[in-house]
A and B are shown apart, each in its own frame.
Chain A
Amino acid sequence: MTTENRIEALRQEVRAWLESNVPTGWREAMTNVEQDAFVAAQRDWFVKLSTAGYATPHWPQGWLGGGRSLAEQKVIFEEVARADAPRLILYFVALYHAACTLFECGTDQQREKYLDGILQGKIWCQGFSEPNAGSDLASLRTKAERRGDRYVINGQKIWSTMAQYADYCLLLVRTDNSGPPQAGLTYLLLDMKTKGVSVRPISQITGDDEFAEIFFDDVEVAVEDRVGEEGAGWAVAQATLASERGLTLVELTQRMRYALPMLVQSMRQNGCEHDPVVHRDLGKLIANVDAACALADQYLMKRIMGDEQVGDASIVKLFYAKTLREFAALGVRIGGLQAQYYSGFMRGATQETGHWTLDFMNSYNWSIAGGSNEVQRNIISERMLGMPREPKSWQLAEGKA
């Protein structure tokens, strides 16, 4: 079989499987649902998808579902988007951030210890951001002190998605204050049940509490749960962050494309189906969504060909985040007063639920998290367009906090 035929055969296989396996009515079921039911539903779908081998196409050969080429992975993601399957947000960090970090920087022992657990449904969260370290991640202060064969951790993380459900955490801590900030970071794997860990969910503007604070009070982590050398945490964290680029954006842009008819449905419901002004806005959005899909696709092709350049990923993320906001904003306009009536929230849904005001709030996920739009613009202008970096030295004016 030629490569093209093989890819097409895979597409048909995945499509057929999804047709008979995607839970029907999951959107209704996940609207205003209690947490336990949400966790159960995510787990059910995770088990189904991973048993079929479609949750881990990006894993290496030898692991369930792994060893797929990027082109094959892309097909699986496109089909999942096309089938409007639930998004596995509870397992996102486990399947991507944790797995990719372990594959790239972990030891054999660590891979053995943790990866099977991921396949069995262990949930991971990412503990990088802190109250005083967001965009400037390298300034983080959560401290880990080496005592014999353990690290003792004190400090606080924030905005950690799904931390309240997590079994494990990818933890970035400070082990040294003497050199440049990046050089003093160390990367640890933490069991969330360890003594001294406490989690406090943070209520979001959507009404959901999808992220949380994590507090550390003399929490002990064994040295063998360190990824990379002491002081090499920054480089390991880059591997973690890179894992959500590429395929995820192919899936998300495709989902956005398949969600366009929802806007038409709202137009019909709200009687603006024939409004020429709405037509214009919708037409512009359609083109932007098309461009976002093409960008994500092109980016993946570049990676397949080994042509990726600095800034490419930033362009895709920035453009997606902006288009997603426009999408939701148009939904809000089309929805009119109707969209202002509280309609609850949908757990574990995609970015497009048709609850337009909720979607609008949720679109900030992509413009703030994972390097904000502004940070992406810095990367594009400085590293791609060769414009100068901000001057480093700067001091607070006398008497200011």
Chain B
Amino acid sequence: MSFELKELQDSTRRVIDAAGIAADESELWSQLTELGWLMVTVPESLGGLEAGVQGACTMHCELGRGLARAPYLPAMLALDAICGSEQSERDTWLEQVFAGGLITTCLAECSLHVSDSRLDGSATGVQSADSAQHVLLWTDSNDLVVLVDLRKPGVAITAKPTWDLTRRLFDVELDQVPLSEHHIVAEGESARVMIQRLAALRDFYLAADAIGGAQTMLEMTIEHLQTRVQFKRPLALFQALKHRCADMKASIVAAEAMLFDALRRLEGDLDNPQFGIKARGVKMFATTMFTQVAEDCLQLHGGIGMADEHPCHLFLKRALLSEQLSGSGAAYASNLALDLIENSGNLQSGKCA
């Protein structure tokens, strides 16, 4: 890890540790925006830190460690799109974000179409839509990215309470919403590239978040095992439990290596289609890993793990939701397989039995 990334990591960790696990959403949000953290990937020329996707993932990892509630993940995605926009409105949008305004986006499915200059359709998994001014969405035909004002007629938001208590999701419905020039972020080919890029970033960010969550969960569990005494000895002495911790550690480290390895290889080449498939692999691996870790860690806590007052369940619930956001593990696994099948035409003879 480079020096700059290490610094970013340390400063994020300090703030998140001080805030505590799953700290209050609005407090953390104001802190985040004041510290300029949404600006990690924003180019220096636009007033950002220009720390790249590696920087963003380093931060998401730290935020994930604290099960942070604030909608920084969709906000950073929307901001990434805005920075890539060639429209004249770009700077107005940026100012809105710099002033602490939230532009959210969809973490699940977005289905929109345009007819007669009007937008119809819906989006699911829109985080903290009730506190946002705008939502960034895209059309099914992949040739239009728009910012929709959530307070305008024709836009309806519905809260969708989740088991995960650390993120608030909404459905957004658009019914004949007039589409004005002012709200177009990208069109045509540049929209297509932007949508692909957003999908990949969303996967990488969710993966980073999951890695952070798994790290804290395992640390907490080991601490619990070290202090909880049964049969006149700390539970941490039982090898059956030690080995499970070792396996969890290995898969957390593996997920982390996989994420940062992919970013190192692809960072300069975000529009490469390989970026998307890599991101899916990493997202699937990391979020499934998080669920497995959270699942096992709750078990290792015993009864206290099932008590609402203990944070164990917050990790498990966040993990389960993350596994479904963006694209499910099952769907991504098929994507990876089909990609391999497509790209492994006929092997040279001699290679295979």
**Chain A residues proximal to chain B, CB less than 8 Å:** 24-28, 84, 260-262, 264-267, 273, 276, 278-284, 286-288, 290-295, 297-298, 315, 318-319, 343, 353-355, 374, 376-378, 380-382, 384-388, 390-391
Given A24-B350, A25-B350, A280-B334: A377 and B242 within 8 A (CB)?
yes
Q: Report yes or no: B340 in contact with A261, Cβ–Cβ below 8 A.
A: yes
CB distance from B340 to the nearest CB of A (A): 6
Residues of B within 8 A of A380 (CB): 245-246, 249-250
Given A262-B352, A264-B341, A355-B353: A290 and B242 within 8 A (CB)?
no
Given A297-B257, A376-B246: A286 and B336 within 8 A (CB)?
yes
Neighbour of A388 across the interface among B234, B334, B340, B349, CB < 8 A: B234
Q: Which of B272-298 contact A (CB under 8 A)?
A: 281-282, 284-285, 288
Q: Report yes or no: A388 in contact with B246, Cβ–Cβ below 8 A.
A: no
CB distance from A154 to the nearest CB of B (A): 35
Q: Report yes or no: B281 in contact with A265, Cβ–Cβ below 8 A.
A: no
Neighbour of B337 across the interface among A282, A298, A343, A354, CB < 8 A: A282
Q: Report yes or no: A377 in contact with B246, Cβ–Cβ below 8 A.
A: yes
Which of B225, B254, B255, B334 has the most chain A CB atoms inside 10 A of its CB? B254
Residues of A within 8 A of B226 (CB): 386-388
Interface size on B, residues (CB 8 A): 46
**Chain B residues proximal to chain A, CB less than 8 Å:** 222, 225-226, 234, 236-237, 239, 242-243, 245-247, 249-251, 253-255, 257-258, 260-262, 281-282, 284-285, 288, 329-330, 332-338, 340-341, 344, 347, 349-353
Neighbour of A262 across the interface among B239, B285, B347, CB < 8 A: B347
What are 25 of the A-B contact pairs (CB < 8 Å)?
Answer: A84-B351, A264-B344, A265-B344, A265-B352, A266-B352, A267-B341, A281-B333, A282-B333, A283-B334, A284-B284, A286-B281, A290-B258, A295-B258, A318-B247, A319-B254, A374-B243, A378-B239, A380-B246, A380-B249, A380-B250, A381-B246, A385-B245, A385-B249, A387-B222, A387-B225
Neighbour of B251 across the interface among A294, A319, A354, CB < 8 A: A319
Given A287-B336, A288-B285, A354-B352: A294 and B246 within 8 A (CB)?
no
Residues of B within 8 A of A376 (CB): 246
- Nearest residue in A to B277 (C-beta to C-beta)? A286
Q: Report yes or no: A385 in contact with B337, Cβ–Cβ below 8 A.
A: no
Neighbour of A276 across the interface among B225, B255, B258, B334, CB < 8 A: B334
Given A27-B350, A343-B353, A354-B353: A280 and B333 within 8 A (CB)?
yes
